[in-house]
A and B are shown apart, each in its own frame.
Chain A
Amino acid sequence: MLLSLEPRGQQSRAMLWLSPLLAAVLTLLSGALLFSLLGHDPLQTLHTLLIAPLADWYGVSELLVKALPILLCALGLAVAYQARIWNIGAEGQLLLGALAGSAMAIQLIDWDSRWALVWVVLAGVAAGAAWGGLTAWLRTQFNANEILTSIMLNYIALNLLLFFVHGPLKDPAGFNFPESAMFGDASRLPLVSEDGRLHAGLYFALLALVAVWVLLHKSFLGFQIKVLGLDRRAAGFVGFREKRLVWFALLVSGGLAGLAGVGEVAGPIGQLVPQVSPGYGYAAITVAFLGRLNPLGIVCASLLMALLYLGGENAQMTMNLPQAITQLFQGMMLFFLLACDVLILYRPRLKWKWASLPVLKKVAA
């Protein structure tokens, strides 16, 4: 064997930081190769994908707008995944948050008071948490696998949303388009600055970031969640209540996804539409792992994911690149990031063939 991997015995601190850099270099190199094989100027394509979207403040604010829902969902997922509770249902929890928030906003459409926004956000969070709680109930009561139940609940949530947007919540004055009425100004999230669409959801995200960081790194509750994830028997041995922790993790996870959903409808969109989410809840799964379930890592990963979304759209519009190519590029980046993580625990070593020859000779003798 020419190249072999040896266990390091412990994590390499240097590689913890170097592995993402190495992955970035490898992605850029193979991306450039891919684009030049397709007959595009590699540098210009990479520029269009990765740099052009951030050329001005509007671009940056769009990046943040895209990153916010991913970040919120991924933070919640990190809490659940630390407990090894594989919640795949962030998408459904997000959609339900958007649906409940919209229903509330339609009810309060004539309010002038800012309390309208409070009620809308609370409705969204509560609905997302309830949808996550459904998974928790099925798991703790019937021992149903949360991966399956949360995926199935995603489809139920999507169809509930479609039903309401085509039916009870459809705008009577909307020429029969499947859309709700525009929300009242009192229930919209205010903009952070005059330019762009960046909204006050940013503050929610920052708050959630700090809260999840304190929960996972400072609090005893977070410690219990980690012990449950790493070693269920040890958790039982010291009396951590598994059922309560499962409920907590899924409620937090669902609540944050619900917040992401209501942030979308009360923020950039302003009404309920069928395409609330282009798959933010699924992207958040990748982002949570890419950020190594660490809140700060997740911030970086969600910004990266948002950049890839924006860059892909940009390349489609300006260079006529098919979307499949940009998805391929995203896939390569994820592949290299995960592959380079091997180096954290393993040391690559080149072995020359002749090194093992003397032993063979002796066996033959």
Chain B
Amino acid sequence: MSSSPSVPRLQLSGISKRYPGCLANDRIDLSIAPGEIHALLGENGAGKSTLMKIIYGVTQPDSGEIHWQGEALKMRDPAMARSLGVGMVFQHFSLFETLSVAENIALAMGAAAGTPKQLEPKIREVSQRYGMALEPGRLVHNLSIGERQRVEIVRCLMQDIKLLILDEPTSVLTPQEADELFGTLRRLAAEGCSILFISHKLGEVRALCQNATVLRGGKVSGHCVPAECSDLQLARLMVGDAEGLESSYPKASGGLPRLRVDDLSWHNADPFGCTLSQIRLEVRSGEIVGIAGVAGNGQDELLALLSGETRLPRNEHARISLDQQPIAHLHPDARRKLGLAFVPAERLGHGAVPDMSLADNALLTAFQQGLLSKGLIQRGKVRALADQIIQRFAVKTPDADALARSLSGGNLQKFILGREILQQPKLLVAAHPTWGVDVGAAAAIHRALIALRDAGAAILVISEDLDELFQISDRIGALCSGKLSPLAATAETEAVEVGRWMAGEFAPLPPITSPLAAPAAHLS
């Protein structure tokens, strides 16, 4: 086998793929040398996922050629790709929820690799070496988004790997962990492994990747060396125009307290879940509070308690209050009536019903906004609301009859956020608002959140994307193992400090003194 440095590890020429109604890939050329870290940039829907699936053998191109180490071949299926040494970490995880971590990894590696039990020591070793804590015996359905991604990464690293494809791998890591991952990737590259790295975070692409290929609308819109390009140039290649891609917003200080969480403790019955202890939090009108943290540190539990999917018994109803009114015992619809709006982490299957139209999905949370009359649905009003959301938030869709699942992630997120904002909430809780969303849509979502803040709403954003939190939030804190760090004004802290909080390095809260104690007083 010829593997001299001049022969690319992988070369794609003229790859095209058509799906019903869209040309996902249009004559794409791409070449990756051995040991190269190559970035693939592009908006959602630009054709990155399709291209990766073609490389990994999940789908077949309609035309074009794939050369692996100089030889033309047809990538029949993922098993063939894996046997050649291609590993892939999908953005949408390909894990079996009812199986354990070790069983999932054993399944992907084939019978020859051994039983799940035999693999456990190696899983522990690999996960420890790369700083990704993972318990092989846990069932996948108990894992959070971030933990599932760790399973995928570890699964690839356990194979003898020649080309590793990563789709937005850092979105669930703390900055320190991301740096560690980059170290790992550089080490892998130095050992000769090629890496195809998909990310929206232009900063990390610049730090890590030697070359970048940018896709737009299914076509290659440019090749560049990221280190020599500015964020704006890269963003322009990706979205065409750079309008509204500014990266800083003025900070606000907030008014009266809207949301108060008072020493909230909640015991999780799931032995692998996270138990919350003494969460103390205040969100004022006209400010955005950001909560950072690595997935699985209590975010899901806190979100469920705030939305009302988990309720506290009546005698603890004052643990959470909205405008001085206790709400911890109320159902989600009763909380919405009081002015709470909520954007959950998972867009499809939680925030929106995949198999219902956008109009029906508008009705889903807005039904208390005069869309009903004597128990009957006012179709005209529902339709008007959906059209208004689509228009005001520039949702790309044929019309309000389109099924939620037919929209791209960014578009659906704009729709969901628009649906909540148009209800003029007093308090908006948003989880991972731009997770897996392209740069253009993320900027639109950030602008919408800032506009809502300036209109006087209180906003709580829980996210794993630290850059995003620093960009939009006025005060920031972090969750670690079910405990919340003190909150600090974003302008007065920095990523390294929040990163320490994310790792649990903060002093425990002092016993409660005054309910309106300044947050800065909690800083150690």
Q: Which residues of A contact B (CB under 8 A)?
A: 6-10, 214, 218-221, 223, 226-227, 230-231, 233-234, 236-241, 347, 359, 362-363, 365
* Contact of A239 with B19 at beta-carbon distance under 8 Å, contacts A223-B377, A231-B349, A234-B351 already known: no
Give the nearest-CB partner of A358 in chain B.
B63
Q: How far is the CA of A223 from the CA of B361 in the complex (A)?
A: 11
The 4 closest A-B pairs by CB, nearest first: A239-B332, A239-B333, A9-B20, A231-B353
Residues of B within 8 A of A238 (CB): 332-333, 336, 364-365, 367
Residues of B within 8 A of A220 (CB): 367, 372, 375-377
The contact string, 1 if C-beta is below 8 Å from chain A, for chain B 344-376, is 101001111111100010011101000010011
The contact string, 1 if C-beta is below 8 Å from chain A, for chain B 167-185, is 0000000000000000000
How far in angstroms is the closest Cβ of chain A from B524?
A: 36
Residues of B within 8 A of A359 (CB): 74
Residues of A within 8 A of B499 (CB): none
Are B355 and A230 in contact, with the CB atoms below 8 A?
yes
How far in angstroms is the closest Cβ of chain B from A89?
A: 27
Residues of A within 8 A of B197 (CB): none
The residue among B352, B364, B367 with the most chain A CB atoms within 10 A of its own CB is: B364
8 contacts between A and B (CB under 8 A): A9-B21, A10-B403, A231-B350, A234-B349, A234-B350, A234-B353, A236-B309, A239-B333
Q: How far is the CA of A241 from the CA of B334 in the complex (A)?
A: 12
Q: How far is the CA of A233 from the CA of B310 in the complex (A)?
A: 12
Q: How far is the CA of A220 from the CA of B309 in the complex (A)?
A: 21
The contact string, 1 if C-beta is below 8 Å from chain A, for chain B 227-246, is 00000000000000000000
Number of interface residues of B (CB under 8 A): 38
Give the nearest-CB partner of B332 in chain A.
A239
Residues of B within 8 A of A8 (CB): 20
Are A239 and B375 in contact, with the CB atoms below 8 A?
no
Does B73 sit at the interface, judged by CB under 8 A? Answer: yes
How far in angstroms is the closest Cβ of chain B from A238?
A: 5
Are B72 and A227 in contact, with the CB atoms below 8 A?
no
Does B342 sit at the interface, judged by CB under 8 A? Answer: yes
How far in angstroms is the closest Cβ of chain B from A289?
A: 17
Q: How far is the CA of A115 from the CA of B406 in the complex (A)?
A: 55
Mostly, the B contact residues are: mixed
Are B74 and A237 in contact, with the CB atoms below 8 A?
no
Residues of A within 8 A of B356 (CB): 226-227, 230
How far in angstroms is the closest Cβ of chain B from A206?
A: 20
How far in angstroms is the closest Cβ of chain B from A364?
A: 10
Are B333 and A237 in contact, with the CB atoms below 8 A?
no
How far in angstroms is the closest Cβ of chain B from A246?
A: 16
The contact string, 1 if C-beta is below 8 Å from chain A, for chain B 362-397, is 011101000010011100000000000000000000
Q: How far is the CA of A240 from the CA of B308 in the complex (A)?
A: 11
Q: How far is the CA of A226 from the CA of B307 in the complex (A)?
A: 22
Q: For the A-B complex with A223-B363, A227-B356, A238-B365 known, give 6 more contacts whose Cβ atoms are closer than 8 Å.
A: A214-B376, A219-B377, A220-B375, A233-B346, A237-B342, A237-B344
The contact string, 1 if C-beta is below 8 Å from chain A, for chain B 300-324, is 0000000111000000000000000
Are A239 and B20 in contact, with the CB atoms below 8 A?
no
How far in angstroms is the closest Cβ of chain B from A214?
A: 8
How far in angstroms is the closest Cβ of chain A from B122?
A: 35
Residues of A within 8 A of B367 (CB): 220, 223, 238
Give the nearest-CB partner of B307 in chain A.
A237
Residues of A within 8 A of B355 (CB): 230-231
Residues of A within 8 A of B19 (CB): 9
Are A241 and B353 in contact, with the CB atoms below 8 A?
no
Residues of B within 8 A of A226 (CB): 356
Are A218 and B351 in contact, with the CB atoms below 8 A?
no
Q: How far is the CA of A231 from the CA of B361 in the complex (A)?
A: 12
Are A363 and B350 in contact, with the CB atoms below 8 A?
no
Give the nearest-CB partner of B61 in chain A.
A359
Are A218 and B377 in contact, with the CB atoms below 8 A?
yes
Residues of B within 8 A of A6 (CB): 20
* Contact of A221 with B375 at beta-carbon distance under 8 Å, contacts A230-B356, A234-B352 already known: yes
How far in angstroms is the closest Cβ of chain B from A243?
A: 12
Q: How far is the CA of A281 from the CA of B376 in the complex (A)?
A: 30
Q: How far is the CA of A244 from the CA of B146 in the complex (A)?
A: 34
Does B331 sit at the interface, judged by CB under 8 A? Answer: yes
Residues of B within 8 A of A227 (CB): 353, 356, 364
Residues of B within 8 A of A7 (CB): 20
Are B350 and A233 in contact, with the CB atoms below 8 A?
yes
Q: How far is the CA of A226 from the CA of B353 in the complex (A)?
A: 10
Q: How far is the CA of A237 from the CA of B309 in the complex (A)?
A: 6
Q: How far is the CA of A219 from the CA of B353 in the complex (A)?
A: 18
Does B135 sit at the interface, judged by CB under 8 A? Answer: no
Residues of B within 8 A of A239 (CB): 308, 331-336
Give the nearest-CB partner of B71 in chain A.
A363
Residues of B within 8 A of A218 (CB): 376-377
Are A241 and B331 in contact, with the CB atoms below 8 A?
yes
Residues of B within 8 A of A347 (CB): 20
Are B353 and A237 in contact, with the CB atoms below 8 A?
no
Q: How far is the CA of A231 from the CA of B20 in the complex (A)?
A: 26
Give the nearest-CB partner of B72 in chain A.
A362
Q: How far is the CA of A362 from the CA of B336 in the complex (A)?
A: 61
Q: How far is the CA of A6 from the CA of B21 in the complex (A)?
A: 12
Q: How far is the CA of A230 from the CA of B364 in the complex (A)?
A: 12
Q: How far is the CA of A239 from the CA of B73 in the complex (A)?
A: 53
B 137-188 contacts with A by CB, 8 A: none
Q: How far is the CA of A221 from the CA of B309 in the complex (A)?
A: 20
Does B262 sit at the interface, judged by CB under 8 A? Answer: no
Contact of A237 among B332, B363, B376, B403 (CB under 8 A): B332
